[in-house]
Structure 1
């Protein structure tokens, strides 16, 4: 079995108490997620509690956005958020995803990690596609946007 892990980390110039809610509530992801803009007509559905354990988000979009769902399965404020990420299109996959928030100076070190395994068609795909190269840049963009969202004045 072939497994992979993609991790990126960034120092966000805001306290964890300001960054954590942007990840712990899927409705806030429109402010920073690198994938929210790939399909302007993206269909989003939220269910469960607004934030924390049990919060759910499903999306269905164009070929680039694909389809899938996420559920927060662990949430410890303001230290970490654990998400069960499931893609249904273009390739079915379940990717455990974790965000950790560690105070560093006057900011917060946010680390975003996604793990998975190459199975079925994904295994063949994994032979010539490097998941770190494929997704790592998106994580970097997302963390930069997360920093901007955390630093912007609250409405």
Structure 2
């Protein structure tokens, strides 16, 4: 197995209390998730709680979007959110993902971190593709869109 980590941070010019709800509810992710536009006809379903621990989201999309589930497993307002991210296609994988919100000059430093292990086909894939390069730019786009979504919510 070969473990990996993808981490990106951005300064969002708003207090953590304004950022937190956009991450703590999967219903809000449509405003900022970098993967929402990958497949406009993607099937989405929500279950469990609307927000916080127990909130669940499932998707099933085209080849590029794949399919999987997410569940919020920890929610500490307004500091952190932990998500159990499970992909079922194109590769089976479980990727613990955390969002950490830290007060900073000018707003909130949001850190998006995903960890995982390459196994089976994923391990072969990892020989040719670096997960940080593959997903890191998505995280950067997502954090920029999250900042825009926070501004739009304030307006």
User: What is the number of equivalent residue pairs in this alignment?
Assistant: 155
Look up the match of 1:91: 91
* Counterpart residue number, 1:136: 136
In the TM superposition, structure 1's runs of 4+ consecutive aligned residues that sit over 6 Å from their partners are none
Deviations 1:87-108 (A, max 9, x none): 0000000000000000112310
What is the alpha-carbon distance in structure 1 between the residues aligned to residue 121 and residue 66 of structure 2?
16
SS of corresponding position for 1:34: coil
Q: Normalised by the size of structure 2, how large is the TM-score? A: 0.98
Q: In the alignment, what sits opposite 1:46?
A: 46
Unaligned runs of 5+ in 1: none
How far does the alpha carbon of each residue in 1:30-83 deviate from its partner, in whole angstroms, 9 at most, with x for none?
Answer: 000000011010110000010000000000001111000000000000000000
Instruction: Name the counterpart of 1:121.
Output: 121
Superimposed CA distance per residue, residues 98-127 of structure 1 (whole angstroms, 9 cap, x where no aligned partner): 000001123100000000000011011111
Give, in whole Å, the separation in 1 of the partners of 2:89 and 2:139: 20
What value does the CA root-mean-square deviation take over the aligned residues?
A: 0.9
Instruction: Provide the TM-score with structure 1 as the length reference.
Output: 0.98
CA distances 1:9-29 after superposition (whole Å, capped 9, x unpaired): 000011100100000000000
- Measured in 1, the distance between the counterparts of 2:131 and 2:138 equals 11
Please report how far the alpha carbon of residue 153 of structure 1 lies from its aligned counterpart in structure 2 after TM superposition.
3.5
In structure 2, the gaps of 5 or more residues are: none
Separation in 2 of the partners of 1:10 and 1:106?
A: 11
